[in-house]
Structure 1
Amino acid sequence: MIRKIRRKKSKLLTWAFLFFVANYILLKTTSKINLKTNKSKIDSKINKETVGEQTFKKLDEGKTNFEVCQLPKLNYGLPLEDLKPMPKCTVERNWGNVDSLDHKWTLDKEIQTRIDSIRCKYRRVERIDDFKVNLGSFNELKDGDIVRDDVFEVECDGKNKSNGNQVKFDNLYVQVVNNNPKDKFNIGKDSSGCFPYNVMLLSYDSVSRVSFVKRLTKTFDFIKNTENFFILTGYNIVGDGTPQALIPLFTGYTEEELPSALKNDPNGKYVDEAYPFIWKELHKKNFTSIYLDDWPQVGAFSYRMRGFKNHAPKHYPKHYQLYMMQRNRRLKKSNDFCNGDTKRHKIMMNLLTSFKQLYRNRQSNLAIMHYVENSHDSNDHLHWLDDDIFEFLNNGFREHLFDDTIIFLNNLAKLTSPFDIHATVRDLTCSKKEIKNDRQRSISLFGKISIYRSCEDIGIAEHFCTCVRDWKSKNINTKEIKEVAEFAVESINSVSSSKRDLCQVLGLKKIISAEKLDLDGKVVYRVSFITYPNNGIYETIVYQGKNEGFEFISDNFSIKSKNDISRIDSYGEQPWCVAKFGSNPGLMLDLRKFCFCYIKKKFNLFCVIFNSC
């Protein structure tokens, strides 16, 4: 329940999520609203409701005969390896910069004390789609000129005052430009009397809760010691990979429930044509939006998928990241994690700040950033973000970019998922909607989430369920466990069998660990093992006996789905023959974690097997 409060028109409401794609979500509430648990009488009965052919249990906190999800106790005492210092940017100082609000180009005064006769030119970089850019013609750029292109390239030359030598500077710039400014305050209640909040979603790829606490110490201390930050310790992923983390959050559905947007599918559509992204609906409600990501070569919606065509967020500088990657490769720039004199992750945060400044008091807005570079391959560079995330949050609140506060009071230690975040965003933006065949897996964090909620209720496979179970360790040398592991390897081979001309048959090399569980009368195994010849490390959940509806079934064992088989080491270049999406028409499966390609002539066998190419 949300209690109405009086608010000044000069203030906006912002709900900010800072989350890390793993099992961790932080909430910062920014409006003085008290969210109270509904005090109506709790019905102690179990109500069964039907949605189509689906039935689900509606549980409440009055029940005592249902299992409560016990969350794991994590070990934060593990020592970190030596933290590498952040490298300095190769470019000591940009020759000029563009103002984030008035878009005026200004030559740097300190540079002008060293460089004489500076002449600059610039050209526009235009997005064609998520894979191609168009470069405009160069035009003269003078000190004080206004540049209203969101992405542009600058080249300058001049004379070094100390020795008279010619010197050059070049850089790629990105900014948030509102080419359809709204001069009047344009925020208010909708026709139903609902007041829309702003929403900000910040995510960093492949970061666990322990890694966040240990590596982002300043940020965590700020969160821990700042009023109205809350941690969803029961947040649970619903699948393996970044799209499986983001698609439910942005759409309320899983990838499998939506039309195909795959490059390899001849009938695949662009993601904005296939997916009901929430910003499409918010745009109709007069919201503006921004979506920032990096590493276009592994983009969540452009690696396996066809990317966006027309209905992307209003501000979507994908072409900045795309052209920067192409440009750095062409100019053979060393990877200092910078663009010009600024770290690339800092540039993304600056864009978010500019976006919030530009639309403050003007227009309701949705801001999304998913950042990959510092944590995707490993978390060794994650700590480099700490100072800048802290500064972004601290300055944002101090400068009233996130004015007004919501106090969130319940659901903190209950089982939640990306579906619930989607429902919460809808709740906050006055866009509530029933999701077809939802089975109440999407519950707003302002609603009532039962302590008896289970992974099964949400649709989370046992393989990804964070609830602590009574797993019993088993001897890995028994015939029983060997048969379980061999069935798992057979299942992996059955996935890659459609491309046997490309993918080698794998065998069981070693069993690492095995556990057994009695789950509602079913015997379940969790097994980790190594395969050969790829030295791949896998983990999966295997059910005893035949189970109808499962993807892999033998006389003795079953595995629900290929999605329940995880490869937990880096596969590197091993699946090179199936990793170039779009080059294998009709190959609908993502075989990267299952396929060990026949060796390329240019690759050394040792380096492919041990991922050292």
Structure 2
Amino acid sequence: MEQLLKMVLCLSLFVLTAFFYENNLFHKVNFGALKVYKYDTLISRNDSVYIIDTPGCKIPNYEAFDLSIREKILPGRFTNCDKTRSFLKISSNCLEIDHADVQKSQFKNSFSFCRVHRIYRPRQGQHHNFFRYIPIKGRLMTGDQLCLESDMARVKCFDRKNRTIFTELYWIYQRNDSYEELCDKRLRKRMDDPKITENLNVLLLGVDSTSRLNSQRYFLKTRQILEREFNSFEFKGHNIVGMTTFQNVVPVLTGKSIYELKEDGKFGNTTMDNFQFIWKDFEENGYRTLFAEDAAHMATFDYFKPGFQNYPAQFYNRPWSVAWWYAGSPRCMGGRSEPEAVMEYLTKFVDVYKSKPYFAFVFLSSLTHDRQELSAEMDEVMSKFFTKAYESNAFNNTMVFFFSDHGFRIGRTRWSNIGMYEVLSPMLFITVPKWFSDKYKKIDKNLRNNANKLTTVYDIHETLRDILNFNGRVEEHSSILRGESLFSDVSKTRNCTDVGVPESLCSCSHYINVKNFSTLYATRNLSTDIVSKLNDLLKNHQSVCERISLDKTISVYQEVSGRKHTYRISIRTLPGKALFEASVSSINDKYHVGQILRINKYGDQSKCLNDYFLRNYCYCKDT
């Protein structure tokens, strides 16, 4: 019997090994991470057909490594920044040249000196890309120490022939006593209100283009820490309300869509200073405020928009980030990537203020916006941050919203049913202090229940409002609202229409592939309806944009859960071989084309147009 069991075990191991080899999985999983974190399985097993199963919404329980897309998933990639390792060390905001590191470098026989410049931008009334370098000291030599008073600085080091051999940008936490006094004064006034019972910190930490499923593929370490070390809730039915970062971030911070914020939804000539972002309310209540992004050229409020002329928050890194961009947007500087540098600052910030109220918004794009496989590097950055926060107990009084704006909109998996779903279903974790869950058991129960319902960014905003005005009571609603605080028990019957999600972006809708769509197209070519709408969108730019024509219909999917005929159609157009996806609905023989999504890179094809929305569609005549 024992011999038989050994044979069965050996055969099972052989079959399992053959399975992973045949499916090319060995190089697609970070086995170093698996070993450290002791994952029991590589691929989760689903116990139910639907991940969200409510009267108002049913979302299929897709596998992150489903057979239909497994070969299209790229192995994780990492940037090696060791070659740009810093010559400098900093302690208590004082810089000095690390002689030992110089001796280890290729410049040990040629290193001469460094120069230090302040990165300066006035806090008010300046162009969003403005900054200038102001010299701080003539030369910094080996053995010298320079204590910085500014929070942003550039250090350039030279060899004996006066050639630049090293550049590093610093963003350093500097305490501002007058600001601290103002915050304390405002906080005392807040605490005089008997209705306010808690002062929870808020950290909104966003990563671009990361679906819930993609976080399962690449964010192995981060998910492990959030699930095992923190009191975290993963919201499995979180749905986008628009296709861009801007469209999904604005509702978080204002509770409004971009069209409610500004009727035409166009912000190309509108600065952001006069809009009522929620961090202003928190600051009025004695909270320290921080706003930070990387990738200055495509930042949320700056991509084909004029951003902020005044500092939107007390701690604001845009001048530093623009300096990084003007330096050529190097992947590494000073032995670290730009996201790493931002997260180093945030690590210091959350530790300094773990016992004082703060509101921090951080959004990172440079690693994950265009390269899905670089999510593995972002996982290293985030897991390091969360590990340090856990070890220092930095989140004992903090609610953390670890989120994404939308899923990956281009790439190899995009053409599958799962790929279409992923775009609509961004990652969202909410981490709550354990004492808070113990003290407010009804809120804890509601968070757990809401994690398995349809949610959107409007709910996040209402939750932030609840934190700002927290009184320990849970408000229940007699009718369905577009946005409901996740502290309350949101309705099970809510659907995409109820929560402000366009039908074309609804993950509750189920589609099947119409493999032979020639019969459907015999009476009406729905693809030409999409092309007609594209040309209509560009009608005021015919002098610079080519007229678009249909090249090919790539796929047609039909919705099977709705009361009207709705199709999700992918096409290729000329010139430029642009790829688009759109929903086309038919009611009483009238056809309506929904939002048209660009699902491949447009590069320089639309460089003649300065409209961040229409750039998705235009093919410039001079291309």
Identify whether the pair has TM-score above 0.5, normalized to the shorter chain.
yes
The Cα of 1:277 is off from its aligned counterpart by 0.5
Query: Does the CA contact (< 8 Å) of 1:543 and 1:559 recur in 2?
Result: yes
The Cα of 1:199 is off from its aligned counterpart by 0.7
Tell me: CA distance 1:346–1:236, structure 2 relative to 1, closer, same or farther (3 Å): same
CA distance in 1, matches of 2:211, 2:175: 36
Query: Does the CA contact (< 8 Å) of 1:86 and 1:384 recur in 2?
Result: yes
Alignment partner of 1:95 is 2:81: no
Tell me: CA distance 1:217–1:154, structure 2 relative to 1, closer, same or farther (3 Å): same
Q: Structure 2 residue aligned with 1:175, among 172, 176, 192? A: 172
CA distance in 1, matches of 2:298, 2:263: 18
Alignment partner of 1:68 is 2:56: yes
The Cα of 1:520 is off from its aligned counterpart by 5.6
SS class of match (2:203) = strand
Counterpart in 2 of 1:269?
270
1:506-517 correspondence to structure 2 within 5 Å: 506-517=548-559
Counterpart in 2 of 1:41?
none
CA distance in 1, matches of 2:575, 2:593: 23
Counterpart in 2 of 1:357?
351
- Further displaced range: 339-348 or 415-424: 339-348
Of structures 1 and 2, the one with the larger relative CO (CA 8 A, separation 6+) is: 1
Taking only aligned residues, the RMSD between alpha carbons, in angstroms, comes to 3.1
1:325-364 correspondence to structure 2 within 5 Å: 325-328=325-328, 335=330, 337-361=331-355, 363-364=356-357
SS class of match (1:110) = helix
The Cα of 1:396 is off from its aligned counterpart by 0.4
Query: Does the CA contact (< 8 Å) of 1:198 and 1:429 recur in 2?
Result: no
Counterpart in 2 of 1:31?
none
CA distance in 2, matches of 1:599, 1:246: 34
Spell out, residue by residue over 1:287-339, the C-alpha distance to the aligned partner (whole angstroms, 9 max, x if none): 1111111111111101122101225011111011111221237xxxxx4x212
Q: Structure 2 residue aligned with 1:426, among 441, 465, 471? A: 465
SS class of match (1:448) = coil
Q: Structure 1 residue aligned with 2:379, among 382, 386, 400? A: 386
SS class of match (1:403) = coil
Tell me: CA distance 1:386–1:472, structure 2 relative to 1, closer, same or farther (3 Å): closer
Spell out, residue by residue over 1:547-596, the C-alpha distance to the aligned partner (whole angstroms, 9 max, x if none): xxxxxxxx741124xxx111111122211111x45xxxxxxx72112111
Counterpart in 1 of 2:389?
396
Tell me: CA distance 1:226–1:171, structure 2 relative to 1, closer, same or farther (3 Å): closer
Alignment partner of 1:232 is 2:229: no
Counterpart in 1 of 2:315?
315
Query: Does the CA contact (< 8 Å) of 1:513 and 1:529 recur in 2?
Result: yes
1:107-126 correspondence to structure 2 within 5 Å: 107-111=97-101, 119-126=113-120
Alignment partner of 1:488 is 2:480: no
Alignment partner of 1:570 is 2:601: yes
The Cα of 1:158 is off from its aligned counterpart by 6.9
Counterpart in 2 of 1:590?
613
Query: Does the CA contact (< 8 Å) of 1:523 and 1:543 recur in 2?
Result: yes
The AA in structure 2 aligned to 1:130 is H
Counterpart in 2 of 1:3?
none
The Cα of 1:387 is off from its aligned counterpart by 2.2
The AA in structure 2 aligned to 1:577 is C
Tell me: CA distance 1:260–1:378, structure 2 relative to 1, closer, same or farther (3 Å): farther
CA distance in 2, matches of 1:481, 1:447: 49
Q: Structure 2 residue aligned with 1:446, among 460, 467, 487? A: 487
Tell me: CA distance 1:170–1:483, structure 2 relative to 1, closer, same or farther (3 Å): closer
Query: Does the CA contact (< 8 Å) of 2:510 and 2:560 recur in 1?
Result: no
CA distance in 1, matches of 2:182, 2:578: 59
CA distance in 1, matches of 2:564, 2:213: 32
Query: Does the CA contact (< 8 Å) of 1:157 and 1:166 recur in 2?
Result: yes
Counterpart in 2 of 1:292?
292
SS class of match (1:596) = coil
The AA in structure 2 aligned to 1:495 is L
Alignment partner of 1:132 is 2:130: yes
**Residues matched between the structures, number:** 496
TM-score, normalised with respect to structure 2:
0.73
CA distance in 1, matches of 2:132, 2:103: 35
The AA in structure 1 aligned to 2:132 is N
SS class of match (1:149) = coil
Alignment partner of 1:523 is 2:565: yes
Tell me: CA distance 1:476–1:533, structure 2 relative to 1, closer, same or farther (3 Å): farther
Tell me: CA distance 1:141–1:104, structure 2 relative to 1, closer, same or farther (3 Å): farther
Query: Does the CA contact (< 8 Å) of 1:260 and 1:269 recur in 2?
Result: no
Query: Does the CA contact (< 8 Å) of 1:261 and 1:306 recur in 2?
Result: no
Tell me: CA distance 1:158–1:474, structure 2 relative to 1, closer, same or farther (3 Å): closer
Counterpart in 2 of 1:558?
592
Q: Structure 2 residue aligned with 1:369, among 359, 362, 376? A: 362
Tell me: CA distance 1:257–1:263, structure 2 relative to 1, closer, same or farther (3 Å): closer
The Cα of 1:264 is off from its aligned counterpart by 7.2
SS class of match (1:300) = coil
Query: Does the CA contact (< 8 Å) of 1:262 and 1:269 recur in 2?
Result: no
The AA in structure 2 aligned to 1:490 is S
- Further displaced range: 107-116 or 388-397: 107-116
Tell me: CA distance 1:367–1:174, structure 2 relative to 1, closer, same or farther (3 Å): same
Spell out, residue by residue over 1:437-460, the C-alpha distance to the aligned partner (whole angstroms, 9 max, x if none): x97211111012111110000110
Query: Does the CA contact (< 8 Å) of 1:290 and 1:315 recur in 2?
Result: yes
CA distance in 2, matches of 1:71, 1:351: 38
Alignment partner of 1:195 is 2:198: yes
Counterpart in 1 of 2:417?
none
Counterpart in 2 of 1:535?
577
Query: Does the CA contact (< 8 Å) of 1:263 and 1:306 recur in 2?
Result: no
The AA in structure 2 aligned to 1:525 is Y
Tell me: CA distance 1:125–1:498, structure 2 relative to 1, closer, same or farther (3 Å): same
The AA in structure 1 aligned to 2:95 is W
CA distance in 2, matches of 1:264, 1:391: 36
The AA in structure 2 aligned to 1:200 is L
Tell me: CA distance 1:252–1:112, structure 2 relative to 1, closer, same or farther (3 Å): same
The AA in structure 2 aligned to 1:572 is G
Tell me: CA distance 1:392–1:264, structure 2 relative to 1, closer, same or farther (3 Å): closer
SS class of match (1:304) = coil
SS class of match (2:348) = helix
Query: Does the CA contact (< 8 Å) of 1:72 and 1:468 recur in 2?
Result: no
TM-score, normalised with respect to structure 1:
0.74
The Cα of 1:91 is off from its aligned counterpart by 1.9
The Cα of 1:370 is off from its aligned counterpart by 0.7
CA distance in 2, matches of 1:529, 1:156: 52
Tell me: CA distance 1:229–1:263, structure 2 relative to 1, closer, same or farther (3 Å): closer
Query: Does the CA contact (< 8 Å) of 1:89 and 1:343 recur in 2?
Result: no
Unaligned residue ranges in structure 1 (runs of 5+): 1-65, 330-334, 547-554, 582-588, 601-613
Query: Does the CA contact (< 8 Å) of 2:237 and 2:454 recur in 1?
Result: yes
The AA in structure 1 aligned to 2:606 is P
Counterpart in 2 of 1:146?
147
Query: Does the CA contact (< 8 Å) of 1:262 and 1:306 recur in 2?
Result: no
The Cα of 1:165 is off from its aligned counterpart by 11
CA distance in 2, matches of 1:271, 1:318: 14
